[in-house]
Structure 1
Amino acid sequence: MVFALALVIGGAVIVTWLTWRAANGSLARNDLAGVRTRVTMSSDEAWRIGHRAALRPTVIAGILTVLWSLASIGLAPLRNPVSVLVATAVLLGGALLSIPVAHRAVRRCNTENDASA
Structure 2
Amino acid sequence: MADATPPGIAAAIAVAVLLAGVAWSFLMLGRVALTGGRNHTVGFRLPSVMRSDAAWRAGHRAAARPLLVGAWAVTVLALLSLAASPATVPYVVVVVATVGALLVQVLWATVAAHRGARRVSPGSARG
| TM-score of the pair, normalised by structure 1 | 0.79
* Partner Cα distance (1:87, 1:17) in 2: 19
Helix, strand or coil at the partner of 1:62: helix
Q: Secondary structure at the match of 1:30?
A: coil
Which residue of the partner structure matches residue 79 of structure 2?
A: 70
Q: What CA distance in whole angstroms lies between the structure 1 residues aligned with 2:96 and 2:70? A: 14
* Distance change (3 Å), C-alpha of 1:53 and 1:112: farther
Identity of aligned residues (%): 31
How far apart, in 1, do the equivalents of 2:53 and 2:76 lie?
33
Structure 1 position 46 matched with structure 2 position 55: yes
Q: Answer yes or no: is the 8 Å Cα contact 1:73–1:79 preserved in 2.
A: no
Q: Write the letter of the residue equivalent to 1:63.
A: W
- Confirm whether residue 14 of structure 1 aligns to residue 19 of structure 2: no
Which deviates further from its counterpart, 61-70 or 36-45? 36-45
SS in 1 for 2:49: coil
Task: For 1:60, give the aligned amino acid.
Answer: V
Decide whether aligned partners of structure 1 residues 63 and 86 sit closer, same or farther in structure 2, where only a CA change above 3 A counts: same
Q: Distance in 2 between matches of 1:79 and 1:16?
A: 28
| Matches of 2:53 and 2:123, distance apart in 1 | 17
Single out whichever of 69-78 and 14-23 deviates more from structure 2. 69-78
Aligned residue number for residue 94 of structure 2: 83
1:83-106 per-position Cα deviation (integer Å, ceiling 9, x unaligned) = 222111111112111222222222
Residue by residue, what CA displacement relative to the aligned partner does 1:55-114 show, whole Å, maximum 9, x if unpaired?
11111111000111012113434762332221111111121112222222222121794x
RMSD: 2.2
